[in-house]
């Protein structure tokens, strides 16, 4: 399959690329992650046990509390953050955290992003252009 | 985004590097959510627990704290959410000295910015209750949803760095809950039986939060017979925000923007989703019970009001916490002082329970806390807490306040 381009709302953070990790589940760094080990730790999460480090995380919506906004930068400072975060529906916390961490974040796509991208796809995220490219 | 003269001065760096960085961050977020301009805020509530901050976050605060006074001081009254460490209790809780040291550094930096260390998530009950129409930058989901819904104030979720930016600039991007259009009802729920206990109210919030599903939905709740108390709405809102990432609800006949259905929906209201007693019972049942042994019972998330503290003390009077079980109760520093004065601390602590001030359980390095003390089987009356802690390695169970105390005394359910 050739290159696919998916439009979304303009996001925050720098351009980034990596391998996609996708699930039709939600996201909170506090609720779902073991940030020391770099894996999803919430037993009921669809990605339980999987590493998110350097991956382009593709999930449905933001959930839970406010801690993610500090935690994205904290994870990045230790080299334990995702490469980018794509959500169908974001919230202020994800955008604030991505802006603070200088991490690529986008949401509100023209399609359901959890169906348009598969785990293992190579993805380039350009938040300034509101564009995701699947190679 | 349109910027006024002060905002342009901040962006140009004429008011210092920290304010320039802050407003640049805010502009990025504002553009992401199509904000047209900024709105000034009258107070900021800052979440900055050290588990979330980490070393890098504390260094960031220290860098601002090292700036000249006119560049580092906050522009509006700014108060703090619970801390990660109770410096009077951490050794007894087997929390590492390195966490306490990080906490001391964070406190010193935050004070240097002129921030009031209130260390509470129930600021709307204990510090400065929000006012209808007041624009705020609140940084705890529970405090934000209470301020928006119960008080009729206006705030988005402002996570730690965003709340700090708001404190430095005195404003936030105007989108979401700051706009009339962001406060209109989107979903309707009809409650068939009034929740009876605080954990029932939390369960109701959790069920509606799961169903609502995103930050941009505004649930409208009908059918509540009799005005809820502040503590009931506190547990309801905290759970709703936790399970649904929802910053605002309306409750017909209760909250100020919802005297009736026509006031909260732009068009014909949607078909209501019905929630009854069986739904609440099903929610409890999904957590199971710890019939063999309970490691820790927690009252927190949100911190307890003085009325909740009195109730816990009444239930504990003359009882002893089981030797294999810990009972932790978290409240604000102001309420702790009141408990000392009113004799509640003595009643609670003579049972063997620990009364913690200025912290909340899930913000206290919950994973390391559980590992150090051998805690997995947790019981709480907080639907919010039981939602959060499973990711930290706990097996949580939701129970009423009375059942929590019984579990602490008997060491099992």
Q: With 90 as the cut, is the pLDDT of residue A4 above it? A: yes
Nearest chain A residue to B33, by CA:
A92
Pick from A99, A104, A105, A107 the residue to mutate for testing the B interface (most B CBs within 10 Å): A99
Are residues A89 and B216, on separate chains, in Cβ contact within 8 Å? yes
Least confident of A58-67, B236-245, B279-288, B398-407: A58-67
Task: Give the separation between CA A79 and CA B183, rounded to whole angstroms.
Answer: 39
Q: Which fold has domain B5-180?
A: Aconitase; domain 3 (3.30.499)
pLDDT value of position A30: 87
Domain that holds residue A40: 4-134
Q: With 90 as the cut, is the pLDDT of residue B250 above it? A: yes
The answer to whether residue B55 neighbours chain A at the CB level (below 8 Å) is: yes
pLDDT value of position A64: 76
Are residues B245 and A9, on separate chains, in Cβ contact within 8 Å? no
User: How sure is the predictor about B387, in pLDDT bands with cuts at 50, 70 and 90?
Assistant: very high
B52 vs A contacts (CB less than 8 Å):
30, 67, 70-71, 74
User: Residue B71, Cα to own-chain centre: how many angstroms?
Assistant: 29
Over the stretch B323-357, which tens digit does the pLDDT of each residue have?
999 999 999 999 999 999 999 999 999 999 999 99
pLDDT value of position A65: 84
Over the stretch A13-33, which tens digit does the pLDDT of each residue have?
999 999 999 999 999 998 899
Q: With 90 as the cut, is the pLDDT of residue B266 above it? A: yes
Over the stretch B23-67, which tens digit does the pLDDT of each residue have?
999 999 999 999 999 999 999 999 999 999 999 999 999 999 999
The complex scores an ipTM of: 0.95
Over the stretch B109-136, which tens digit does the pLDDT of each residue have?
999 999 999 999 999 999 999 999 999 9
Nearest chain B residue to A89, by CA:
B214
User: How sure is the predictor about A1, in pLDDT bands with cuts at 50, 70 and 90?
Assistant: low
A interface residues, B as partner, C-beta within 8 Å: 9-12, 30-34, 36, 41-45, 61-71, 73-74, 76-78, 89-93, 95-97, 99-100
Find the helix or strand (DSSP H, E) in which A96 lies: helix A92-101
User: How sure is the predictor about A63, in pLDDT bands with cuts at 50, 70 and 90?
Assistant: confident
Give me the CATH code for the B290-410 domain, please.
3.30.499.10
Are residues B388 and A10, on separate chains, in Cβ contact within 8 Å? no
Are residues A64 and B139, on separate chains, in Cβ contact within 8 Å? no
Are residues B393 and A41, on separate chains, in Cβ contact within 8 Å? yes
Chain B 106-145, residues with CB within 8 Å of chain A CB atoms: 139-141
What's the rounded mean pLDDT across residues A32-48? Answer: 93
* CATH number of domain containing A11: 3.50.30.10
Same topology between domain B5-180 and domain B290-410: yes
A77 vs B contacts (CB less than 8 Å):
54-56
Describe chain B by its helix, strand, coil percentages, rounded to 5: 45, 15, 40
Into how many domains does chain A fold?
1
pLDDT value of position B213: 78
Residue B25 has its nearest CB partner, among A43, A91, A99, at: A99
What is the overall mean pLDDT for chain B? 97
Q: Could you tell me if B166 and B179 are in contact, meaning their C-beta atoms sit under 8 angstroms apart?
A: no
Task: Give the separation between CA B70 and CA B386, rounded to whole angstroms.
Answer: 43
Top pLDDT among A29 and B221 is at B221
pLDDT value of position A2: 81
**Cβ neighbour number for residue A110 with a 10 Å cutoff:** 11
A36 vs B contacts (CB less than 8 Å):
367
Task: Give the separation between CA B253 and CA B366, rounded to whole angstroms.
Answer: 39
Task: Give the separation between CA A9 and CA B337, rounded to whole angstroms.
Answer: 49
User: How sure is the predictor about A107, in pLDDT bands with cuts at 50, 70 and 90?
Assistant: very high
* pTM of the complete model beyond 0.95: yes
Are residues A33 and B242, on separate chains, in Cβ contact within 8 Å? no
Are residues A66 and B158, on separate chains, in Cβ contact within 8 Å? yes
Are residues A11 and B157, on separate chains, in Cβ contact within 8 Å? no
The radius of gyration of chain A's CA atoms, rounded to the nearest angstrom, is: 13
What is the overall mean pLDDT for chain A? 95
Over the stretch B293-302, which tens digit does the pLDDT of each residue have?
999 999 999 9
Q: Could you tell me if A70 and A98 are in contact, meaning their C-beta atoms sit under 8 angstroms apart?
A: no
Q: Could you tell me if B163 and B45 are in contact, meaning their C-beta atoms sit under 8 angstroms apart?
A: yes
Alpha helices (runs of H) in B305-378, residue ranges in sequence order: 306-316, 333-342, 344-349, 366-373
């Amino acid at each position: 399959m050739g290159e696919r381009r998916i439009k979304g709302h303009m996001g925050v953070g720098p351009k980034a690329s990596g391998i996609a990790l996708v699930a039709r589940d939600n996201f909170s760094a506090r609720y779902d992650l073991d940030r020391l080990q770099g894996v999803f730790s919430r037993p009921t999460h669809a990605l339980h046990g999987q590493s998110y480090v350097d991956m382009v995380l593709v999930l449905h919506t933001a959930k839970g509390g406010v801690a993610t906004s500090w935690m994205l930068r904290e994870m990045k400072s230790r080299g334990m953050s995702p490469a980018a975060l794509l959500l169908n529906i974001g919230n202020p916390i994800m955008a604030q955290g991505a802006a603070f961490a200088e991490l690529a974040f986008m949401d509100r796509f023209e399609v359901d992003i959890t169906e348009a991208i598969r785990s293992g796809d190579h993805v380039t995220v350009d938040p300034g252009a509101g564009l995701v490219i699947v190679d | 985004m349109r910027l006024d003269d002060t905002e342009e001065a901040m962006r140009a760096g004429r008011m210092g590097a920290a304010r320039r960085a802050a407003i640049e961050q805010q502009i990025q977020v504002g553009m992401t959510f199509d904000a047209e301009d900024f709105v000034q805020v009258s107070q900021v509530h800052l979440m900055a627990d050290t588990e979330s901050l980490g070393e890098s976050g504390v260094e960031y605060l220290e860098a601002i704290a090292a700036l000249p006074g006119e560049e580092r001081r906050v522009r509006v009254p700014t108060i703090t959410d619970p801390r990660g460490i109770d410096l009077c209790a951490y050794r007894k809780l087997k929390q590492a000295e390195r966490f306490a040291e990080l906490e001391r550094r964070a406190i010193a930096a935050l004070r240097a910015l002129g921030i009031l260390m209130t260390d509470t998530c129930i600021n709307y009950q204990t510090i400065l209750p929000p006012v209808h129409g007041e624009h705020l930058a609140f940084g705890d989901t529970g405090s934000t949803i209470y301020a928006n819904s119960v008080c009729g104030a206006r705030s988005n979720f402002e996570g730690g760095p965003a709340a700090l930016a708001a404190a430095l600039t005195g404003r936030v991007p105007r989108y979401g809950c700051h706009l009339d259009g962001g406060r209109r009802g989107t979903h309707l729920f009809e409650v068939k039986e009034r929740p009876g206990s605080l954990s029932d109210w939390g369960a109701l919030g959790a069920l509606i939060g799961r169903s609502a599903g995103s930050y941009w939905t505004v649930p409208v709740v009908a059918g509540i017979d009799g005005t809820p108390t502040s503590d009931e709405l506190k547990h309801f809102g905290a759970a709703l925000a936790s399970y649904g990432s929802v910053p605002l609800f309306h409750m017909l006949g209760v909250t100020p923007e919802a005297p009736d259905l026509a006031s909260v929906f732009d068009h014909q209201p949607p078909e209501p989703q019905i929630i009854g007693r069986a739904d609440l019972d099903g929610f409890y049942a999904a957590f199971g019970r710890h019939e063999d042994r309970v490691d820790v019972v927690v009252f927190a998330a949100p911190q307890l009001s003085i009325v909740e503290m009195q109730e816990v003390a009444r239930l504990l009077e003359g009882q002893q916490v089981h030797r294999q079980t810990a009972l932790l109760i978290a409240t604000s520093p102001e309420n702790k002082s009141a408990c000392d004065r009113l004799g509640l601390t003595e009643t609670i602590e003579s049972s063997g329970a620990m009364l913690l001030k200025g912290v909340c359980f899930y913000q206290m390095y919950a994973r390391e806390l559980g590992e150090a003390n051998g805690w997995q089987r947790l019981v709480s009356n907080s639907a919010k807490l039981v939602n959060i802690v499973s990711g930290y390695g706990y097996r949580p169970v939701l129970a009423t306040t009375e059942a929590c105390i019984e579990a602490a005394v008997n060491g099992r359910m």
